[in-house]
Structure 1
């Protein structure tokens, strides 16, 4: 009977983690959908806290208008606005911390080309659609890695350094999500909670027969 309960639990967790990612790699390959709130609600209900940071990040991708269509509890709404406020400046932060500082002083040699890249980034940041849309720095920064036309004219050496900087910056954002949403101090803390706080009670009828 315990095996059956564990199997059901593992199947449920597999479904939830395909939608509410627990790693940056999982986020990049995770599914999206308008019903993500339902899965986040399940994670909150059963206190599966290690699913919450990625879940709330995805919730932040909903517009305020779409969020209002759900009967969202107050604590969910507070985390939603808290997260959006924290996520909003991160794209500009990436531009300032990585692209704008590229050049000979940081041993990036393609100064003229980086100037063009910076102009492209600033154009994106000023775009009205970008400004009014949900803050999604993990996706926007990844596009700089996937769309090689953005780095046209940049040498192989600088490109390699830039791609490494993208990975580092995105990982730092991911690591900060538990604190960003006020869920925990780190992912490691939430992993401990996964073991300690995840209840999988068997139905009373099954418990009495085992």
Structure 2
């Protein structure tokens, strides 16, 4: 989205030079004390407001400014100019998030470009509250608990978009965010390997970082597949206990029949492995096999327990620290200024 701008008429710059920018249409305050020029767009804002949100600007504001109006530094309308190497669109979203409380509110659906811009610049300029808010928003789509993952379609604050997995991985690497990556990698593991590798290879980061990321993802996918086979399909093992079975012989035959089908499924080219079908339908597998009621409950509980176990191990599969460490690292624990719905499965994140 292009930044809205207006003419540069009546704009003064350094002596003998012509303006090389246009003023932002909605971020040019007549009483502003500093002009930020990003690409070819100028934003006139307030040093005090920037300093209240960003540590970097707070440090800059503490440096004494020359009192001589003709000290030779670049000025616009009498305000000192600061030229920054950022995207003008990113800066527009970032400044709006600082100035307009309704622009990027906690708990409100927000488009990915806004969240990405806020995360990038809040990381660069050390705006900790906005950075945390952006990470929390991303975590509603790629959370750290299984219950939140299961509810993500209803509660995610970022509407789904084309190329989402690739874009979020790139943003997380660029902004040094780790807590969302295990879930993103999990989502990527469910895509065709050849298709996902091509996407990961096109991520624009340092080649060493990219190659290490791809290697860890591939190894993690293999570890995940083995964990799903071993844990999710444990109920198909002939030694699996079913203490309250009401029709032992019949249930045995049904389970043995499914075990044989599952072996053929793993060895074949079925689009959806049986362990993944069970993982995604834990509460109905026992019923679908026509088992007796106690066996249905036993099988369903076994699969759900396996899902919890696998999710807990998910970060380690892909080479990350455990969930608790990742949450603490990215500082998304409860914060008093965040608005959280008490019934939200994501409230533990904020």
Alignment-derived partner of residue 199 in structure 1: none
Displacement of 1:137 in angstroms is 5.5
Shifted more, 19-28 versus 75-84: the winner is 19-28
Displacement of 1:24 in angstroms is 0.9
CA distance in structure 2 between the aligned counterparts of 1:178 and 1:136, rounded to whole angstroms: 23
- Asked if 2 retains the 8 angstrom alpha-carbon contact of 1:60 and 1:84, the reply is yes
Alignment-derived partner of residue 203 in structure 1: none
- Asked if 2 retains the 8 angstrom alpha-carbon contact of 1:95 and 1:118, the reply is no
Given the superposition, is the C-alpha separation of residues 175 and 22 from structure 1 closer, same or farther in structure 2, using an over 3 Å criterion? same
Matching of residue 26 in structure 1 with residue 148 in structure 2? yes
Matching of residue 195 in structure 1 with residue 324 in structure 2? no
Which residue of the other structure, out of 212, 215, 220, is the alignment partner of 1:78? 215
Structure 2 spans left out of the alignment, 5+ residues: 1-51, 54-96, 99-126, 154-159, 204-209, 246-250, 333-350
Which residue of the other structure, out of 125, 138, 142, is the alignment partner of 1:16? 138
Q: TM-score, normalised by structure 1?
A: 0.73
- Asked if 2 retains the 8 angstrom alpha-carbon contact of 1:82 and 1:181, the reply is yes
Which structure 1 residue ranges, 4+ long, deviate > 3 Å from structure 2? 1-11, 29-34, 135-140, 144-149
CA distance in structure 2 between the aligned counterparts of 1:37 and 1:139, rounded to whole angstroms: 25
CA distance in structure 1 between the aligned counterparts of 2:152 and 2:275, rounded to whole angstroms: 16
Alignment-derived partner of residue 141 in structure 1: 279
CA distance in structure 2 between the aligned counterparts of 1:138 and 1:128, rounded to whole angstroms: 14
CA distance in structure 2 between the aligned counterparts of 1:99 and 1:140, rounded to whole angstroms: 12
CA distance in structure 2 between the aligned counterparts of 1:94 and 1:36, rounded to whole angstroms: 26
Displacement of 1:149 in angstroms is 5.3
Shifted more, 43-52 versus 186-195: the winner is 43-52
Structure 1 spans left out of the alignment, 5+ residues: 197-210
Shifted more, 50-59 versus 10-19: the winner is 10-19
CA distance in structure 1 between the aligned counterparts of 2:326 and 2:289, rounded to whole angstroms: 38
Correspondence 1:57-206 to 2 at 5 A: 57-62=186-191, 63-70=193-200, 71-72=202-203, 73-94=210-231, 97-101=234-238, 105-107=241-243, 109=245, 110-130=251-271, 140-146=278-284, 150-152=288-290, 154-184=291-321, 186-195=322-331
Number of aligned residue pairs: give it. Answer: 190
CA distance in structure 2 between the aligned counterparts of 1:142 and 1:16, rounded to whole angstroms: 22
Matching of residue 47 in structure 1 with residue 183 in structure 2? no
CA distance in structure 1 between the aligned counterparts of 2:198 and 2:148, rounded to whole angstroms: 28
Given the superposition, is the C-alpha separation of residues 138 and 92 from structure 1 closer, same or farther in structure 2, using an over 3 Å criterion? closer
Greater Rg by CA: 2
1 or 2, which has the higher strand percentage?
2
- Asked if 1 retains the 8 angstrom alpha-carbon contact of 2:229 and 2:275, the reply is no
- Post-superposition Cα deviations, 1:40-86, rounded to whole Å, max 9, x if no partner, equal 22222222221121112122233223431442421221122111221
Given the superposition, is the C-alpha separation of residues 97 and 148 from structure 1 closer, same or farther in structure 2, using an over 3 Å criterion? closer
SS class of match (2:283): helix
- Asked if 2 retains the 8 angstrom alpha-carbon contact of 1:142 and 1:166, the reply is no
* RMSD (CA atoms): 3.1
- Post-superposition Cα deviations, 1:100-125, rounded to whole Å, max 9, x if no partner, equal 1466x542523233223323433432
Given the superposition, is the C-alpha separation of residues 137 and 118 from structure 1 closer, same or farther in structure 2, using an over 3 Å criterion? closer
